[in-house]
């Protein structure tokens, strides 16, 4: 008896799951943007692809990290604006406030070490540059946390995509 080939996922469940989990990031940022800010000891490490379409920031900072950067939202961040498809925030680097705009599609990791909560994403290839507004793509918009150290006690995450049958 011949074995049938595995059914193809025409519903694109992986993409739907990734999008739903990016909604967790959006909701967390909306709570952090509220007048009370981050509750308790919560703080976020957000890693994103610097070359992803729609990411904007000063060329000198983005150029230092040709693949990925991590920013930290903890005590000193301003004007956090989580939109529908991207977020913007102002952080200080070398004492200078700088603005960063990142599409959620560019986020590859979201970590709240206060509760050991971690989400890891695959950055979609060819995400539309139109996800961030033209004003957010200007050169004067970035604040990338340089020299950020990730907690060595953080959980290790292994992507299971390598082991999945396609």
Higher pLDDT, 15 or 112: 112
- The radius of gyration of the chain's CA atoms, rounded to the nearest angstrom, is 17
Residue at 3 is within a domain? no
pLDDT digits (tens, 9 = 90+) for 123-145: 656 543 333 333 333 333 333 33
Between 141 and 113, name the one with better pLDDT. Answer: 113
- The stretch 136-156 carries a mean pLDDT of 37
pLDDT in tens, 89-108: 998 877 888 899 999 999 99
Distance CA 24, CA 27 (A): 5
Asked if the structure places residue 155 within a domain, the reply is no
Write the CATH number for 116: 2.30.30.220
Residue pair 123/109 in contact by the 8 Å Cβ criterion:
no
Mean pLDDT, residues 63-87: 92
Number of domains the chain contains = 1
Q: What is the span of the domain harbouring residue 132? A: 14-34+41-148
Residue 145: per-residue pLDDT: 35
Residue 134 lies in a domain: yes
Q: Does 5 reside within a domain?
A: no
In a domain, 158, yes or no: no
Q: Give the integer Cα–Cα distance in Å for 159 and 166.
A: 15
Beta-sheet pairing, 78-82 with 86-93: antiparallel
pLDDT reported for residue 96: 83
pLDDT tens-place string over residues 58-68? 887 788 888 99
Residue 141 counted as domain residue: yes
Residue 91 inside a domain? The answer is: yes
What was the pLDDT predicted at 63? 84
Element (H, E) at 86: strand 86-93
Cα dist from 161 to 39, 91, 158, 165, 166, whole Å: 34, 34, 9, 8, 9
- Does residue 48 sit within a domain? yes
């Amino acid at each position: 008896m011949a074995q049938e080939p595995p059914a193809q996922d025409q519903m694109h469940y992986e993409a739907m799951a990734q999008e739903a989990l990016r909604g967790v990031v959006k909701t967390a940022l909306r709570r952090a943007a509220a007048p009370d800010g981050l509750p308790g000891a919560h703080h976020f490490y957000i890693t994103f692809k610097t070359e992803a379409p729609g990411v904007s920031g000063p060329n000198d900072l983005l150029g230092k990290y040709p693949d990925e950067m991590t920013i930290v939202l903890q005590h000193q961040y301003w004007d956090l604006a989580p939109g529908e498809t991207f977020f913007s925030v102002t952080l200080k680097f070398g004492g200078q406030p700088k603005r960063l705009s990142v599409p959620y599609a560019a986020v590859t990791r979201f970590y709240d070490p206060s509760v050991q909560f971690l989400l890891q994403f695959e950055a979609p290839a060819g995400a539309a540059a139109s996800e961030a507004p033209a004003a957010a793509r200007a050169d004067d918009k970035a604040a990338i946390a340089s020299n950020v150290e990730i907690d060595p006690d953080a959980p290790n995450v292994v992507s299971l995509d390598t082991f999945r049958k396609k």
